[in-house]
Structure 1
């Protein structure tokens, strides 16, 4: 029985990791064609409001389903199927009330929210984004139910389908609105409507999975359900704490939405020029998101193993996996940040048509390293049972980001916002790491490994600088296609040099490489099956 449960646990974790990787890549990638189609000002209008949708998405993917699934799993283990239906019913109606209030507030106060962002014309995009909250209760309930039953397929299918339809709608509507000369705010509203379409599709997909039992779940006598308050309190507070630590990048974007454009206008910039500057600054978001996804994908795959090790009180395995997760995140995150900073000019031209803002994007690129470390460390802390602390640290980072924006933007312009983001994320990482080191009573990275990683990164940076000097001396003023070849070749060659030095300096041991390929987990699984057979 234990072997079967472990197998379902690990298989489900792999499915969710794969689905999460696909959806995050889609979520980062679609912004590039959207900016190419609509331009920097339309990109600004969409990105100003995106944090509202990002908040809704995070709650529907991470927060509420995680809490519901935990409660469902506990009741299923005790064989209390009626209690499972009670939890689902309370969760759905409580979240429906909560999300309806949020929807009504955002829709009614859309002009106020837009004025807070410094541009009242954003109100129509805020209104479109508010509709996304209406789909959250059903999505969260069904995903939580299936995840609590160790069936991750419905969640994975709904996530991927939602993102595919959302991205397709954004690109198609943008093409249509631009071709028909609609204003930039309507183009932004059309892009946000893609998120509404994604939510509707996700509801349909999940309904198909649960349609047979839906009536028994939703329509239950409220008076017959016990401990309603306890379930609602757990759902609300635990959902928020889990979500906040997964909202690191969204929180930074939200602070920027409230401050950057307002402060540019306050500094004397014309409105249209300020919108262009903010749109150029927002080019860094897909680059940071994509880099963070890659940097965390391998390390987060180790989290279920640590959670299972905690259940079995295997302290040695927890420490080993934790060090490996930190090392992998550091290797990929630092490599991505430094590599992107080196080739940012041709990359900017390749993706966004020109090199505007390359210097500030190079600064913002270091957010990849610190956001990846922040997300990995927060997720590990949650897996070890510490949910409130990483949420608090994220809020501390948000306050720091706001204060740093206020101080640095008048001094450095929009580059100040990029520096503020890096500083705030670094602070979150320091706080998470300090707590993690105390919890597991061990250092998170060996000094000799850190030195070897930095040396490998330095070698890659020197190679890329030499490579760019030669290429730009031979082909000065290359076209967009030439810049694309330069960027792609630089990424590949720089990555190979980095990998070569990582191997030559023995940054990873054979045991660590084997763990990354799940050999140890597979052997553990075989051992469990053998014990069952005995």
Structure 2
């Protein structure tokens, strides 16, 4: 009977993890994808305005999805069944009070300090947009608490539905409000404030939905049982574990934050005219949705294996841990490498297809390689969390953020936004290397396999040769315009992806049972080398 119960628990844990994984992928695609039509509406200067303030919202989003709800759910799930009902009430009450203080503190800091923050960024006109963004932190406490409570009861659907709904209505509001305000002839800063209001609207949608679902879900009676859990225990776990998880998840957002505070201000200091500096920063920010979308694709496959690692850790199955860790890392490198080189080689037509012109394609070429290192870093961080080692990723992320700031200060005055692109790639490479070495040390997994390196190298070289020749041929056709760029980009993605994938699958990179564990893996096993 115990074995059956254990199997049911594992199945429920797996199903719940998959629900959140799918919701996370949809959320990230929505969060990255809308920026392309938004940039098309407002241009590079309008995109600069929005991206300067976006990292503040990004922090609120990460705290309310990947940080505090995870810790609250873990606290709830760890409570004995006899005390569970009383424990849930206490955990929710304490968490809500503590997070309310935190949310209020962050709101006041941003709202009152908006002008000073804008001055530090070098653009005082950002003040009103920062003030609008600050309201997202007022929604944080109740949303985080409710998501955590649902997840702790192994009910992932409310969290998933609220995440997707929040982003859907946010994106809808941003695109609609931006177009409406532009037609009315409002300034780009007013449009930026309207776009940021969409983040507040999305948060309110998530809040209302969660409150409605909780009202239907909860039982009115609290029960007579008591809990031994203390307020101090809840507080320590909430803040120590919560912030370590948050910092790991904030890697890309914190790098964007460093860019927001340094690039434009440094460009102005070097004598570049304000409007041009804004355009340069805005065109540099075109790389953010590309990095985010590329990383989502890469990590969607590798992170689908992390729940298996967590389950193997619970069963203390060392061989299973090694197998799944090795496969996760391999998949993140495989897809991250292919996405980075593919995007870099096709960046000219892709840039024109998505953003109307090829401005700053050299900068985006460099930024393309961020996908490889961010994919590795996020996968390795998730593995360490699955192995119950959350402090290490947080520390390494802070090292990478510090390195990014130092390199921006040194490189941007000399190389402009190209220097910022190099600093992003190098900072992510540092974090990825530290995390990979940490995973290797704690699992004994051999990260670098000679045959795997040979296969990846061969696949990249063949793809590079094919796409370079393809781009040379298309340049002779002298096709101009966005439609031509779109056709060239789509055909190039198909050709590059096909030769890369077939080269990998016709090698010994995957075994059939490994490939079957990945999303859609069963569909392509026929390509494996027999």
Match of 2:210 among 197, 206, 211: 206
Per-residue deviation, 1:477: 4.2
The residue that corresponds to 1:411 in the other structure is: 414
Matched residue SS, 2:517: helix
Matched, 1:282 2:300: no
Q: 1:512 aligns with which of 505, 510, 514?
A: 514
8 A Cα contact 2:266 2:412, kept in partner: yes
Task: State how 1:326-345 maps to structure 2 within 5 Å.
Answer: 326-345=329-348
Quote the Cα distance in structure 1 between the aligned partners of 2:516 and 2:114.
Answer: 52
Instruction: State the alpha-carbon separation in 1 of the partners of residues 436 and 18 from structure 2.
Output: 26
CA contact (8 A) 2:326 2:445 kept: no
Equivalent runs, 1:30-69 vs 2, <5 Å: 30-69=34-73
In structure 2, which of residues 418, 423, 426 is the aligned counterpart of residue 423 of structure 1? 426
Structure 1 portions without partners, runs of 5+: 521-534
What does residue 141 of structure 1 align with?
A: 145
Question: Kindly tell me: are residues 509 and 215 of structure 1, through their superposed partners in 2, closer, same or farther at Cα, counting changes over 3 Å?
Answer: closer
* Offset of residue 80 of structure 1: 2.9
Determine helix, strand or coil for the equivalent of 1:471.
Answer: helix
Say yes or no: does 1:480 pair with 2:496. no
Task: State TM-score, norm by structure 2.
Answer: 0.95
| Cα-to-partner distance string for 1:57-106 (whole Å, 9 max, x where unaligned) | 00101010000000000115454311221011110111011101110111
| Residue aligning to 2:526 | none
C-alpha distance in 2 between matches for 1:265 and 1:138: 41
Deviation at 1:511, TM superposition (A): 2.5
Shift of 1:215: 9.9
Q: 2:371 aligns with which of 357, 368, 378?
A: 368
Q: In structure 2, do the counterparts of structure 1 residues 446 and 141 end up closer, same or farther at CA, with 3 Å as the change threshold?
A: same
3-state SS, counterpart of residue 486 of structure 2:
helix
Shift of 1:212: 4.9
**Alpha-carbon separation, structure 1, partners of 2:94 and 2:418:** 47
The farther-off stretch of 439-448 and 355-364 is: 439-448
* Structure 2 segments unaligned to the other structure (5+ residues): 523-530
2:64–2:144 contact (8 Å) kept in structure 1: yes
CA contact (8 A) 2:99 2:141 kept: yes
Would the aligned equivalents of 1:364 and 1:422 in 2 still touch at CA under 8 Å? yes
Secondary structure of 2:186 counterpart: coil
What's the counterpart of residue 299 of structure 2? 296
The answer to whether the 8 A contact 1:327-1:445 is kept is no
2:497 aligned residue? 495
The secondary structure found in structure 2 opposite 1:63 is helix
| Distance of 1:391 and 1:443 partners within structure 2 | 23
Q: Is contact 2:515–2:521 with CA below 8 Å preserved after alignment? A: no
Q: Distance in 2 between matches of 1:492 and 1:212?
A: 47
CA distance in 2, matches of 1:184, 1:518: 43
CA deviation after TM superposition for structure 1 residue 370, in Å: 0.4
Q: TM-score, normalised by structure 1?
A: 0.94
Residues 40 and 356 in structure 2, CA contact (< 8 A), matched pair in contact too: yes
What is the match of residue 528 of structure 1? none
- How many pairs does the alignment contain? 516
Contact 2:291 2:370 in 1 (8 A): yes
Q: 2:196 aligns with which of 192, 197, 207?
A: 192
Q: 1:6 to 1:268 in 2, by over 3 A?
A: same
RMSD: 1.9
Q: Does 1:320 align with 2:323?
A: yes
Correspondent of 1:120 among 124, 139, 146: 124
- C-alpha separation in 2, matches of 1:259 and 1:366: 21
- CA distance in 2 between counterparts of 1:108 and 1:504 reads 60
Distance in 1, Cα, partners of 2:401 & 2:82: 41
Counterpart of 2:16 in structure 1 is 12
Distance 1:153 1:215 in 2: 18
- Taking the aligned partners of 1:64 and 1:24, their CA distance within structure 2 comes to 18
1:227 shift after superposition: 1.7
Distance change (3 Å), C-alpha of 1:275 and 1:517:
closer
Q: Of the candidates 95, 98, 101, which is equivalent to residue 97 of structure 1?
A: 101
Using the TM superposition, name which of 231-240 and 346-355 deviates more.
231-240
**2-side partners of 1:89 and 1:444: how far apart?**
44
Residue 247 in 1 paired to residue 250 in 2? Answer: yes
How much has 1:3 moved relative to structure 2?
A: 1.8
C-alpha contact 1:343 1:487 (8 A) present in aligned 2? yes
2:238 to 235, 239, 255: 235
- Label 1:76 to 1:42 Cα distance change in 2 as closer, same or farther (>3 A): farther
1:196-248 C-alpha deviation (Å, 9 max, x unpaired):
0100000011011112577969x99xxx9962122112101111100101111
Match of 2:176 in 1: 172
Q: 1:227 to 1:518 in 2, by over 3 A?
A: farther
Q: Distance in 1 between matches of 2:370 and 2:136?
A: 28
Question: Hey, what's the Cα distance between the residues in 2 that align with 1:486 and 1:74?
Answer: 54
Q: CA separation of 1:99/1:216 partners in 2, compared to 1, >3 Å: closer, same or farther?
A: farther
- Inter-partner Cα distance in structure 1 for 2:92 and 2:378: 29
Structure 2 CA distance for aligned equivalents of residues 80 and 470 of structure 1: 67
- Worse overlay, 207-216 or 194-203: 207-216
Q: CA deviation at 1:108?
A: 0.7
Alpha-carbon distance, 1:519 to partner: 9.9
Partner of 1:352 in structure 2? 355
Shift of 1:410: 1.9
Identify the residue that residue 527 of structure 2 maps to in structure 1: none
